[in-house]
Amino acid sequence: MSTNIKQGSNSGEMDERASALVTNANAVAAVAAAVEGTLGPKGLDCMLVDKFGDVTVTNDGATILDKIDTAHPAAKMLIKTARAQEEEIGDGTTTTTILASALITEGAAHVSRGVPVTKVIEGIRLGIREALAYIENNADKSAPTHNGKVLRQVALVAARGHEDIADLIVEAAKLTGNETLSDRGFSLADAIIAKESAENEVFAGVVLDKQRANRQMPRSVENAKVLVIDDALEPPQVEERALSTESGFSRRLALQEEFRQNIQKVIDLGVKFVAVAKAIDPIAEELFTDAGVIAVRRLTSRDLAKLVDLTGARTIMRPGLAKEPAELENFLGTCIRVYEDMRLDHIRVEGSGSGVATVLVGASTREVKDERERIARDAAGAVQSAVQTGIVPGGGSIELAAAKQVLALRENVRGMAAYGVDCVAAALKRPLGRIVANAGFNPLEKVENVVAAQNESGNHALAIDCDTGEIADMAKLGVMDPAGVKLYALRAAAEVAEAILRINVIIRKREEQSS
């Protein structure tokens, strides 16, 4: 009797574990299905509709995942992982999602056949490590930094064939320079601005989505000295209670006079453009207007940082304006031109190609503007990643070649961990299969044909030309991807797959009592 009870208990635990795994795998697969149809040159768009009927039409995986409505915790885990890919690299969210879904689906299938989860995860780790090493070893790290044509191809693939956007991004990359692009703290995608009714343009400078502090200030100044104030530009305040006394009132007048003198000092130094993080007092506004100075207020920290990089200025706080003129001069920068574009409703600050570029992407409507901005940001992220990590042939070719290396590894893996290695090999075939399917061809047939062709030729750049359905060399076709996108996607997919495969049971948490 006791034996039967024990067996029943174990069976119940196994059923609960299998149920959680299947539920999670299905939720992840549903999320992947929402984006996998966008992959490749023949990928289609997705229409997202909110509760108010507003429509977003896009084939950008990051946007789809960001706006998709899901309550399942496993699906949310996958979406967060893909979002991290977008924030870190700027491209490759669809690839991450597809790889993660494949790893989880394959892993769940092996677990349902009796393979321990720990062994599946062990094999996945081994396979991912082998795939990462293969891709990194076969990345061309020199071409993107010396060959503009290579960068354009990377941009064109990421821009989904939009040649005008690819050209803008490559021009911006050249203005920015490889040294800045290689800086992990710099993001070329942040230089993208899309505007309705604007013309496509790249220039060395910064766009401030602001207006002059006073409409009587000049619309344009040239060869200007620049002051950047990371503070409010106003005199120190005197407490309200103190103003009721004669000494308090006199104190306020003295502070205002001191403030006026400091503003005049700035004007006497020849400053023609003042950028302020917070408010500007009417006293300063009036003095600047009379002196022909352009002042802009309430700028973000990012705007200030860009201005500092462009002009060579040093940010100063409000008390710093009391410094002697010679010392204050050390905080000033210079720019070629500052002017307010009335039609596009922003202020431009133009420099001399000092590593700060702005990409202005034109569009006809708001919906088109948003999509073109997303495309441009993807292309910018891909180009920067290519400079940092090198390039690999795209079209799913490098993943398929890595799958061959993973399968070779499997022969030396003993025990059930080999099934986890199989999961990685199967997942690596998925991008090419999805690209081929989106182009209207049979993915099983085409993937196996490419596997055979790569084995015969030893060429890891072979994949399928989506226009003809024939095997082709992706490098010769100019289909190139940043190695960093592939590497990050694999790591991220493996991490979220392991996390989800480890989930043994799903329990609803109790509501936390508010204190």
Averaged pLDDT, 201-210: 92
Cα–Cα distance for residue pair 292/467, rounded to 1 Å? 60
Residue 56 has pLDDT above 70, yes or no: yes
Averaged pLDDT, 181-192: 89
Cα distances (Å, whole numbers) of residue 283 to 65, 91, 203, 248, 255: 49, 48, 34, 20, 12
CA–centroid distance for 428 within its chain: 23
Which one is predicted more confidently, 56 or 120? 120
Tokens 């950028």, residue? Answer: 275
Give the pTM.
0.80
Query: What pLDDT, on the 0 to 100 scale, is given for residue 271?
Result: 96
283 neighbors 259 (Cβ within 8 angstroms): yes
Query: What pLDDT, on the 0 to 100 scale, is given for residue 461?
Result: 95
Averaged pLDDT, 385-412: 94
DSSP-derived secondary structure letter, 343 = T
Residue 62 has pLDDT above 80, yes or no: no
End-to-end CA, the chain:
49
Closest CA to 79 of 23, 42, 16, 27: 27
DSSP-derived secondary structure letter, 513 = P
- DSSP annotation string for 360-407: EEEESSHHHHHHHHHHHHHHHHHHHHHHHH-EEETTTHHHHHHHHHHH
Angle, in degrees to the nearest 10, between helices 397-410 and 443-457: 70
% of the chain exceeding 90 in pLDDT: 60
Q: How confident is the model at residue 251 (pLDDT cuts 50, 70, 90)?
A: confident
Indicate the burial class of 104 (C-beta count within 10 angstroms; 0-12, 13-18, 19 or more).
buried
Q: How confident is the model at residue 3 (pLDDT cuts 50, 70, 90)?
A: very low
Query: What pLDDT, on the 0 to 100 scale, is given for residue 23?
Result: 84
Domains located in the chain, CATH noted: 17-140+393-501 (1.10.560.10), 205-356 (3.50.7.10)
Tokens 């207007």, residue? Answer: 289
101 neighbors 32 (Cβ within 8 angstroms): yes
Averaged pLDDT, 323-333: 94
54 neighbors 144 (Cβ within 8 angstroms): no
Cα dihedral 365→366→371→376 (10° resolution) = 90
Q: Which residues pair with 363 in a beta bridge?
A: 196
Query: What pLDDT, on the 0 to 100 scale, is given for residue 64?
Result: 81
Which one is predicted more confidently, 513 or 171? 171
Residues whose CB is less than 8 angstroms from the CB of residue 371 and which lie 6 or more positions away in sequence, other chains included:
57, 58, 60
Q: How confident is the model at residue 240 (pLDDT cuts 50, 70, 90)?
A: low
Averaged pLDDT, 392-418: 94
Mean pLDDT of the chain: 87
The beta strands (E) that lie in 240-315 are given as 271-276, 294-296
Query: What pLDDT, on the 0 to 100 scale, is given for residue 107?
Result: 93
Averaged pLDDT, 245-255: 73
Closest CA to 268 of 285, 300, 249, 291: 291
Q: Half-sphere exposure of residue 449, counting CA atoms within 13 Å on the CB side?
A: 16
Averaged pLDDT, 62-83: 82
